[in-house]
Amino acid sequence: MTLERLVAEIQSRATAELEEARRQHESAKAKLLGERELEVRSLRDTIGHQAEEEARRERQRLLAGAKMQAKKLEYEARERALGGSLDSVRRVLGEYTRSPEYPEVLRRMYSYASAQLGKDLRVTGRTEDAALLRSIAGKSFEPTPLPILGGLVAETANRERRLTLSLDELLRLRESQLRDLLAS
C-alpha cells in the first residue's frame, strides 16, 4: 500500500464518518424539530381549550348576572305596582270612612271590642270619628285623637289589654294576603 492509497483510504473513511455524523445530526435535528412541533401543537391545544373554558365560564357568569339583574328589575317593578295598589287600597279605605256604612262598622268594632275586653273600656280613634265614637261608646270614649285611617283602638280601663281595630292595623295584618291577591 502506497502512501497515496493510505491517504485516500483515510480521506474516504473520514468522509464516510463525516457523512455518517451529518446524517445522525440531521436525524437528531429532525427528531428534535418533530418533538418541538408536537410540543408546540400540544401547548396550542391546551391553551386553546383553557381559553375556551375560561370564555365559557365568563359567559356563564355574565349570563347569571344578567338573569339576576332581570329578576331584580322584575321584583322592583312588581313591588312598585303593589305599592301603588296598596296606596289605592288605603285611598279607598279613606273614602269608605266617609260612606254611610262606616258608622255601622264602628258600632260592630265597638261591640267586638266589648265582647273581647269586657264592658269597662276606653275607646279612642281619629278626630273625624270623635262625635260618632262618643255616641257609640258613651263615657268609655277618650277624646285623644290617633293618627289612623279609620276604626278604633280599645283598651281595658287598667290598660293591661289593648285591641287595635284601626283600618291601618287591619290592612297591615292582611297585607301579605292582599299582596298575593293583587299579584295574581
Q: What is the pLDDT of residues 139-177, one digit of tens each?
A: 888 888 899 999 999 999 888 899 999 999 888 888 888
30 part of a folded domain: no
Q: What is the pLDDT of residues 33-50, one digit of tens each?
A: 888 998 989 889 899 899
pLDDT at 1 over 80: no
76 part of a folded domain: yes
The three cell numbers locating residue 3: 502512501
Quote the pLDDT of residue 134.
92
Q: What is the pLDDT of residues 58-79, one digit of tens each?
A: 999 999 999 999 999 999 988 8
Q: Does the predicted TM-score (pTM) go above 0.85?
A: no
Containing domain of residue 140, as a range?
101-183
Amino acid at 72: K
Domain shared by 106 and 151, yes or no? yes
Are 171 and 90 spatial neighbours (Cβ–Cβ below 8 Å)? yes
Cα separation, 126 vs 87, whole angstroms: 19
Domain shared by 158 and 120, yes or no? yes
Quote the pLDDT of residue 173.
87
